[in-house]
Amino acid sequence: MTHDKIKAAARKRMAETGESYAAARREVIKSYQQAGTGAEASPAGTRWFALDDSDIGPVTRRLDRAQHRSSGYGGVEVDSDVLRVRALGFRLDIPRGSVRSVAHSNRQTRGTLGTHGSRGDWLLNGSHQGLVELVIEPPIYPPRQPNTLFLKMKVNSLTISLVDPDGFIAAIKGDT
């Protein structure tokens, strides 16, 4: 679910329930993440796979709230043409034709959570489980953003922690 869709759904919920925007947005995100498998189908044929943020600690959650950010809204929107990766401070659009392989990952995250990149190898996780690796050829260059230190950085591979890694792999391979 893209930011615009979340915003629209939150505003609709605000009108219906009278909640504040923050409370409505939180509930909209929660409903999408708790919808059974972690994947949601939309009328346009896109599917949303939520990032698994189950290992994020209470201190990080409080810091995110204090900075008016919310962990738990990230994920990957799988469309027929493109994969849209969205997380706190990070966004990347990957053309489907550039995805060379997708598989479960045994990568050792060494206790780190968040968004990290080095020499084209990127990690985007909020958990140490449900890791999926995408190999991308030719490399993708995300827009200049805080997590790339506003530099032009390439992405050859992306490892993501997802709530429903099996569903995501099936969606990418076209088995659904």
Give 12-42 as a DSSP string: HHHHHH---HHHHHHHHHHHHHTSSSSEEE-
**Is there a single domain that holds both residue 53 and residue 14?**
no
Which element (helix H / strand E) includes 61?
A: helix 58-66
Average pLDDT score over the chain? 78
- Determine the pLDDT at residue 176: 43
Please give the sequence-ordered ranges of beta strands (E in DSSP) within the chain, or none if there are none: 39-41, 47-50, 75-78, 82-87, 90-95, 99-104, 114-118, 121-125, 131-140, 155-161
On whether both 155 and 135 belong to a single domain, the answer is yes
Pairing of strands 75-78, 82-87: antiparallel
In angstroms, the CA 120 to CA 109 distance is 16
**Same domain, yes or no: 21 and 87:** no
Q: Are 13 and 24 in contact (CB under 8 A)?
A: yes
Same-domain check for residues 47 and 105: yes
Q: What is the tens place of the pLDDT at every residue in 4-15? A: 788 888 888 888
Q: In this structure, are 51 and 95 located in the same domain? A: yes
Q: What is the residue range of 104's domain?
A: 42-173
Report d(CA 41, CA 133) in Å as an integer: 22
pLDDT digits (tens, 9 = 90+) for 55-90: 766 776 666 666 555 545 678 889 888 999 887 777
Say if residue 128 is in the same domain as residue 81.
yes
What's the domain count of the chain? 2
Q: Is the domain of 11 the same as that of 54?
A: no
Residue 95 has pLDDT above 60, yes or no: yes
Q: Which range has the worst mean pLDDT, 17-21, 140-144, 145-149, 155-159? A: 145-149
pLDDT on residue 169:
92
Say yes or no: 79 and 28 in one domain: no
Q: Which pLDDT score is estimated for 25?
A: 80
- Identify which has the larger pLDDT, 171 or 176: 171
Q: Give yes or no: residues 58 and 100 share one domain.
A: yes
- When pLDDT is averaged across residues 132-156 and rounded to a whole number, the result is 82
Distance CA 165, CA 49 (A): 8
pLDDT of residue 133: 93
pLDDT tens figures, 8-39: 888 888 888 888 888 888 787 777 665 544 44
